[in-house]
Amino acid sequence: MTDPDRRTTDDHGHDVIDPLYVAIVTVSTSRAGDEDPDDPGGDTIQACFESEGHEVRRRELVRDDYAAIRTAVRSLVVQPDVDVVVTTGGTGVTADDVSPDAVSALFERELPGFGELFRSLSWDEVGTRAMASRATAGITADTPVFCLPGSTNACRTACEQLIVPEAPHLAGLATKHRVGTNTQTQTLADFDGE
């Protein structure tokens, strides 16, 4: 359950979790084999959250593989110190771009507005190429999950303009039903994601 000291309401009475505890999953086969890989997308996401006072609690690097991506996200959404999960990489249209497929299979509730807004913002930056992005978001085990492209510009746009401003509210709403209950934090065994 979310620490009650981080759960508040905003000026409109909406539930908010602040600061957020964030997990970042970078999807990259080429980087996953490196001993000390660079991770510009993950670094950008972390900087965006930390600049607003949130904490990145976990970072993982996995290859472009459906099962590996799904396993990483599935294990993170049930951790008590993770309020939001953001993946970067693997959202395009090549055969190995499987992040949206692996993660959306876990969604209990989709957030279609995220992908729509992200592609609209991307239009201003890359024009018609925005249609090739399969960026998506949803709620899994009461945790907002966002799938972003791997480029630093895409990560910055998504985080600064969409995710960081709205994620505290989304995390609050997604867990509101647990306030004042004795509900235990879910474990990986409790969450089948099917």
- Token pair in block for residue 57: 């609690």
Torsion angle, alpha carbons of 164, 23, 140, 88, to 10: 80
C-alpha to C-alpha distance for 56 and 117, rounded to whole angstroms: 24
Phi, psi of 17 (to 5 degrees): -115, 120
> Would residue 164 count as lying in a domain?
yes
DSSP character for 145? E
> Would residue 83 count as lying in a domain?
yes
> Would residue 159 count as lying in a domain?
yes
One digit per residue, the tens of pLDDT, for the chain of length 194 reads 456 789 888 887 778 999 999 999 999 977 776 677 899 999 999 999 999 999 999 999 999 999 999 999 999 999 999 999 999 999 999 999 999 999 999 999 999 999 999 999 999 889 899 999 999 999 999 999 999 999 999 999 999 999 999 999 999 999 887 665 544 445 555 555 44
Summarised one tens digit per residue, pLDDT across range 24-54 is 999 997 777 667 789 999 999 999 999 999 9
> Would residue 32 count as lying in a domain?
yes
C-alpha to C-alpha distance for 54 and 185, rounded to whole angstroms: 21
> Would residue 55 count as lying in a domain?
yes
- Backbone angle region of 127, left / alpha / beta, with phi > 0 → left and psi within -120 to 50 → alpha: left
> Would residue 85 count as lying in a domain?
yes
Residue with tokens 């990483």: 72
Number of domains, the chain: 1
Q: pTM for the full model?
A: 0.89
The CATH number linked to 146 is: 3.40.980.10
Residue 75 lies in domain: 16-176
C-alpha to C-alpha distance for 185 and 13, rounded to whole angstroms: 25
> Would residue 183 count as lying in a domain?
no
> Would residue 1 count as lying in a domain?
no
